[in-house]
Structure 1
Amino acid sequence: MKEVWTKEGKDGSCFRGQDLSWAQGEGSSFDGADFQDSCLRNTRFRECTFRNADFRNADLSGADFRGCDLSGADLRGTDIRLSVLEGAVLSGIKTDEKTEGWEMCCPKTGAFVAYKKCVYDRIVQLLVPADAKRSSATGRTCRCDKAKVLTIRSIDCQKEYEEAWSLVDENFVYRKGMWVYADSFTEDRFRDSTHGIHFWMTREEAITY
């Protein structure tokens, strides 16, 4: 981290067009600050406030805003892919079709097919039903509360298997033709590493995981 902001306060400050990547701050106030066209890639902020801050067309990819107040912030045209928004206040924020990473990667409604990698590089093809809960944060990984196992194949698709074991929980088994259910499901979409069946939308993403 190359810069540390303290509680001295930065309300209304102008950071437009600045490279602030890898900076960090804790307990600072940036209410109404101008971050237009700035780069805040991989920044780390904890318990900071950004109420009504202007992030239009900024690069916030990989930024950590855990526990921050972003209410009313303008994220139109902003790249927030892989940003950590767990526990952040997001009420009243402004987004548009150019806000990268804001919309969920998986369909909001309806059934769809998904993939995940298991032990021994076995790739599981899942059917996520229309009534399943589903979510994704700002990255490409997704979660659901239930799914049906369609196929289990090797990476090269030359071998088929009847079962596969989770990389995270060795007691969680996927069996061909069977339904699997998460022990619970965390409703907050921005809590990424939490309860749910984790999956990818494409087979290629599952393979490279």
Structure 2
Amino acid sequence: MTDGLKDHDYAFRKLQNANFHHLTFERVDFSNGDLTGADLSNCLCIECDFSEAILKNANLQGTDFQHCNLGGADISGANLFFAMLETADLTDIIYDEQTQYFAMHCPEEGAFLAYKECLDYRIVQLLVPADARRSSATNTTCRCDKAKVLSIKDKFTKVSYNEAISYVDDNFIYRTGEWVVAENYNPNRWVDSTGGIHFWMTWKEACGYM
């Protein structure tokens, strides 16, 4: 198997530590299969069935699971960095504290500080309030629907500014001491590049954006 597999039945198969890196699967049935430790990184999975599959400690980095069934799958200890789950069925999926990049990267409750980079190398420090909607997909980028601007500083010199302009929308301006609201916030946490105030949890991560 070199490029991929189509309409194949892997249901209930033992595929521990299998190397499927960078392959394309179309309508492949992995349901109830044991894929413990398997490498599915950067795979394109089109309408595949992973329901009740064991994906413990699997490498799922960059895997496209859109329109796949992951209902009841066990992803304990798996790495889902930049996996695409936007339209996947995640009903009753099983994960644990060792599962990487599946749980929310930002706090699910309460207020917290966040950072984002804007035009002209300006780093904005934000206060995300307790009542703000917030989300993250399968990486370290997060989104919220509102925040208060605490400070704006040059990322190299730390010189302070009163305002900063968003990279994405030049009409969206952050001003020190003022609240900003994203009316286009998308509540689907698995959609990464979409409406909302995008931010990182640390100054260092924000500085690495561009």
TM bucket by the smaller chain? over 0.9
Describe how 1:32-181 pairs up with structure 2 within 5 A. 32-181=32-181
| TM-score, structure 1 normalization | 0.96
CA distance in 2, matches of 1:20, 1:31: 16
Instruction: Spell out the pairing of 1:178-193 with structure 2 (5 A cutoff).
Output: 178-193=178-193
**How far off is 1:192 after superposition?**
1.1
Residue 158 of structure 1 and its aligned partner are, at CA, apart by 3.1
Instruction: Name the CA distance, whole Å, in 1 between partners of 2:76 and 2:159.
Output: 46
Give the Å deviation of 1:186: 1.5
CA shift, 1:34, in A, is 1.6
TM-score by length of 2: 0.95
Give the Cα–Cα distance (whole angstroms) in 2 for the partners of residues 35 and 122 of structure 1: 45
1:39 partner letter? D
Cα distance in 2, alignment partners of residues 95 and 201 from structure 1: 23
Contact persistence 1:2–1:22 (CA under 8 A): no
Please, which runs of 5 or more residues in structure 2 have no aligned partner? Answer: none
Distance 2:38 2:50 in 1: 15
CA shift digits 1:4-44 (9 cap, x unpaired): 11013322223211211111112222111221111111111
CA RMSD between the two structures? 1.4
Tell me the secondary structure at the aligned position of residue 114 of structure 1: strand
- Indicate the SS of the match to 1:152: strand
> What is the letter of the counterpart of residue 186 of structure 2?
T
Task: Within 5 Å, give how 1:6-45 maps onto structure 2.
Answer: 6-45=6-45
Structure 1 residue runs of 5 or longer lacking an equivalent are none
Per-residue deviation, 1:114? 0.3
Aligned counterpart, 2:3: 3
SS in 1 for 2:205: helix
Superposed structure 1 runs of 4+ greater than 6 Å apart: none
Write the deviation string for residues 34-79 of structure 1: whole angstroms up to 9, x where unpaired: 2111111111112111111110111111111011110010111111
> Is the alpha carbon distance of 1:113 and 1:2 closer, same or farther for their aligned partners in structure 2, counting shifts above 3 Å?
farther
Aligned residues: 209
Report the CA distance between 1:2 and its aligned residue. Answer: 4.5
